[in-house]
Amino acid sequence: MSLFVILGLLVCIQAQGTIETPVFVLKGRDLLLKLHADPPEGFIYVDWKINKTVTLVRFDSSGKAAVTGRFELGENKFSVILKNLQEVDSGVYSAVAATSTEDKLVSEYKVTVQGPVSPVELTVDPVDSSSSESCDLHVTCRTHNSHISSTFRCVDRVCSQEGGERSEVTTSGASLQVYLLNTVIICNHSNQVHWTQDFDTTAYLCPSKPELPSVFLVKMVVFSVGLIIMVSAVITVHLVDFKKHQERNGGQTPHAALEESSHLKVTF
Cβ at position 207, least distance to ligand NAG in Å:
53
Q: Buried (b) or exposed (e) across 27-37, using 16+ Cβ within 10 A?
A: eeeebebbbee
Which residues are CB-contacts of 99 (< 8 A; sequence separation ≥ 6)? 40, 41, 42, 43, 44
- What is the amino acid identity at position 77? K
**Smallest distance, ligand NAG to C-beta of residue 172, A:** 15
23 touches ligand NAG by CB under 6 A: no
Binding of ligand NAG at residue 88 (CB under 6 A)? yes
Nearer to ligand NAG, 191 or 202 (CB): 191
CA-based nearest residue to 37, from 23, 56, 18, 55 = 18
The residue nearest ligand NAG at its CB is: 91
Q: Which of 33, 43, 59, 90 binds ligand NAG (CB under 6 A)?
A: 90
Report how far residue 131's alpha carbon sits from residue 154's, in angstroms, rounded to the nearest whole number: 11
State the nearest-atom distance from the C-beta of 93 to ligand NAG, in Å: 9
CB of 120 to ligand NAG, least distance (A): 27
- 76 touches ligand NAG (CB under 6 A): no
Verify binding: residue 89, ligand NAG, rule CB under 6 A. yes
Burial class (CB in 10 A: 0-12, 13-18, 19+), 67: exposed
**For binding to ligand NAG (CB under 6 A), which residues are involved?**
50-51, 88-91
